Structure formats: C-alpha cells, structure tokens
Amino acid sequence: MSSVDNRYTLREFVEQTQQRDRGEGFFEMESPRILEVNLNGNFVWSKMGSMISYLGNMKFEREGMLDKGLGGLFKKALTGEGARLTKVTGNGKVYLADYGKKIQILRLDNQEIVVNANDVLAFEPAVTWDIKMMKRVSSMMAGGLFQMTLSGTGMVAITTHYEPLTLVVTPNQPVYTDPNATVAWSGTLSPNLKTDITFRSLLGRSSGESFQMEFIGNGFVVVQPYEEVYHSEG
C-alpha cells in the first residue's frame, strides 16, 4: 500500500457511517434498516429484541402478560406467539432494527392498518393496538398466525424483507396473496382463506401456495418478495 494512500481510514469510515440528526421528529430513518426514535420523557412501543443501541437514560419494560386482558394471556399461553412488545421510556435516542429488514414509516391519520405481528417494529403510544388471530389459519400454519391492528393517529414503523409491493384492491379486482409473503393490509379489508389443492399438487409444497389469502373490497395489501417462515416462541 502506498504511504500517501489516504483511502479507507478510520476517520473516513467514522465520517461516512456516523449518526446524523435530520430533525425528522419522533421517528427518524437513520438508514433504510435502522430506525432512530427520539424520546423526550415519553415512551414508544417496540418489538422485543429490536433495540441495537441507545443514547441517554432509557428504561425497558416487557409488555405484561395481562396488558391486553385475559384474551391476550390465553393467546400467548396457547400459541407462544412472538408478538411481544417492549415499552421504552426515557430521554435520548434509541435505535431499532430487525435482522436487517427494510423499515417503512407510516403516519396514520385516524386510520387503521393490520400488520403481521412479526413485522411491527415500533409505534407511538397514541396509536391503539390489538392482537388478533386469523380464523381457520391456526390449523394450517405453525406460527405467523397473529395480526396486529393499529389504529388512530400517529407514527408506525413496519419491516419488510427487501422492497415491498402494494396492491390495490377494488370490488372488481380482488387480490390473492401467499400468507407467508403478506405483510399488511388496510383496515377496510377482512381477508378470507382460500385453499387450492391444485397448487400443492403441482408444486409439491406443504404450505404457502397450497392456500392463499383472498382480499375483496376496497383497500390495499402489502406483500414482500420473501416467504417468511415463522417459529412459535415458548
């Protein structure tokens, strides 16, 4: 290496990768795969295990088993579903990420969106949330059964594997998706489950294309170019 070669120095690396304040508010995209949350004595709900760093004084509390009532306790005890949340309170900055998945920030304005519970990274305390299980799915899929309904006004951060695709649903144009590739849909839609034995026979698959989610009405569906396999947590 030449003695006058100043490339790839530690100083250059730090300058290129260091944290930068962009003044975007409560949620700030530090990078496409890292979310910065600016706390000023308030709190944020985040996916358990998503914290990668923080600056300042922070308190982390696991969402209690009874926070959503006996129904929530029953769901967790029965399925071990992984939609566990951490309440982060304090003053400073907390950085969140989820296995390098791409982050999408959504601002709800008195709106409702349903997100695969595993793909919810964080949301403001003003947003109302509930966890529900899709009917008829539990007997066909092991894990990934739960959706989180987020409603009201506030910021929500969700994650996708690679670039998401949003499909518009109209009464004349229903949309069918692979459950393992389905990330979210508008609260105006209620998906049905459509079994197709032909796909299973042709493709030799025991899940995924052997049944699809059917969306009919007015709204949108978000899918990702990746079929996520879910594992129940004890």
What are the pLDDT tens digits along the chain (234 aa)? 555 577 888 888 888 888 777 777 899 999 999 999 999 999 999 999 999 999 999 999 987 644 555 455 444 544 444 568 999 999 999 999 999 999 999 999 999 999 998 999 999 999 999 988 765 555 455 444 688 999 999 999 999 999 999 999 999 999 999 988 999 999 999 898 887 766 555 544 444 457 789 999 999 999 999 988 755 444
Cα(203)–Cα(1) distance, integer angstroms: 54
Range of the domain at 157: 23-223
Residue 170 lies in a domain: yes
Paired tokens of 39? 């706390």
The two counts, helices (H) then strands (E), for the chain are 3, 14
pTM, two decimal places? 0.83
> How many residues are there in the chain?
234
Q: Is residue 125 part of a domain?
A: yes
CATH of the domain at 31: 3.60.160.10
In the three-class reduction of DSSP (H, G, I as helix; E, B as strand; rest coil), residue 234 is classed as: coil
What single-letter amino acid sits at 189? L
Q: Residues 6 or more apart from 182 whose CB is under 8 A from it?
A: 116, 213, 221, 222, 223
Residue 113 gets which letter from DSSP? Answer: E
Domain count, the chain: 1
User: Do 150 and 127 form a contact (C-beta atoms < 8 A)?
Assistant: yes
